[in-house]
Amino acid sequence: MDTFTEISKAACHVRYSSLPSKTHPLAAFVEEKLASLRTSSGSAGQKLGGLKDLYERVDDLLQLPLTQQALSHEHQDKHLEEMLDGSLRLLDVCGTTRDVYSQMKESMQELESSLRRKRGAESIIENEVQAYMNSRKRLSKVISKCLKKMSKELTAFPLDKDSDLVVVVRMLKEAEEISLTVFQSLLSSVSLSKTRSRHAGWSIMSKLLQSRQVTCQAEAYANEVDKVDAELLNLIGKTTSIVEMQKLLKGIKALESSIQQSEEELECIYRGLLKSRVSLLNLHSD
């Protein structure tokens, strides 16, 4: 079990027994959304909508008078610093995830454009697949670096008092932990596996020999990115028929659409995170 999963599970045990303005709809919404994200069995991509809704309301929660009063006392600087550190972590990771998805979409658009120029006849798509896989390898290096940084930086801090302040901090901390888990899954899902990375760098002869290993395996991939990769690699060294090209383009278009939707939701989440950070900075400077 990885660090992020453990932290996320630990966060499930948090209970909010003294919410600031417990009957306030904003506090209730944030608590409900966190509970929904904790228990959801959906994919990371499906959870993005929940995160977007959450961060559209987190800043409003920070604007509640009781929240601001609890966070504005001088002796609460430590908690504010911790939340500011967390907000910076989230902005960094969310921004990287958004940029990765944006570049992934661009790579797929370039691949689709190249393949469409060949779909009117049987074709060899060796160069197009190689160019796409090379771009995926470059992105995977960025992803690997980000994931390593996340695993080193994320640490839990103790909160042993039950107060309005502690409840706010816990809610924000749990939102951070859940968000980082989702971002980790999103990055991992589009990272090029070692097997595919090596495959993309093989000689043409090696590809011809090994391509049979992925024949008919595409449907076994739960991850749509893996599925498209497998279909592409399976066509290396072969003449691609018009029917095969049309099927491939359909899969690429569907994946491209899914990635674009995730990119747009990540942009909304990033703006919400930025807004919340500005509110925390304002409180810190008061």
Evaluate whether residue 94 is within a structural domain: yes
Instruction: Please determine, for residue 245, whether its predicted confidence score (pLDDT) is greater than 50.
Output: yes
Region of 216 (left: φ > 0; alpha: ψ -120 to 50; beta: rest) is left
Evaluate whether residue 160 is within a structural domain: yes
Q: Give me the helices (H) in 16-125, please.
A: 25-39, 44-62, 65-72, 77-116
Evaluate whether residue 197 is within a structural domain: no
Range of the domain at 79: 43-191+217-285
Query: What b/e sequence results for 215-232 when a residue is b if at least 16 CB atoms lie within 10 Å of its CB, and e otherwise?
Result: eeebeeeeebbbbbbbbb
Pick the more confident residue, 160 or 234.
234
95-123 tens-digit pLDDT: 999 999 999 999 999 999 988 887 666 67
Q: What is the mean pLDDT of residues 32-54?
A: 89
- The packing angle between helices 126-153 and 194-201, to 10°, is 140
Q: What is the DSSP string of 35-52?
A: HHHHH--S-HHHHHHHHH
The CA dihedral of 26, 31, 37, 40, to the nearest 10 degrees, is -120
Closest by CA to 83, choosing from 282, 285, 277, is 277
What pLDDT score does 173 carry?
Answer: 87
Evaluate whether residue 207 is within a structural domain: no
Instruction: Please determine, for residue 274, whether its predicted confidence score (pLDDT) is greater than 70.
Output: yes
What pLDDT score does 108 carry?
Answer: 94
Instruction: Please determine, for residue 237, whether its predicted confidence score (pLDDT) is greater than 90.
Output: no
Distance CA 125, CA 228 (A): 14
Evaluate whether residue 34 is within a structural domain: no
What pLDDT score does 164 carry?
Answer: 56
Q: What is the mean pLDDT of residues 7-26?
A: 46
Distance CA 219, CA 210 (A): 18
Per-range mean pLDDT, top range of 12-16, 60-64, 91-95:
91-95
Distance CA 183, CA 89 (A): 12
Evaluate whether residue 211 is within a structural domain: no
The mean predicted confidence, pLDDT, of the chain is 77
Distance CA 232, CA 207 (A): 12
Evaluate whether residue 31 is within a structural domain: no
Instruction: Please determine, for residue 61, whether its predicted confidence score (pLDDT) is greater than 50.
Output: yes
User: Binning pLDDT at 50, 70 and 90, where does residue 27 land?
Assistant: confident
What pLDDT score does 261 carry?
Answer: 93
Q: C-alpha distances in angstroms, 77 versus 80, 163, 247, 251, 275? A: 5, 16, 58, 51, 20
Pick the more confident residue, 264 or 224.
264
Q: Does the pTM of the predicted model rise above 0.85?
A: no
Evaluate whether residue 131 is within a structural domain: yes
Instruction: Please determine, for residue 91, whether its predicted confidence score (pLDDT) is greater than 70.
Output: yes
Question: How many domains, in total, are found in the chain?
Answer: 1
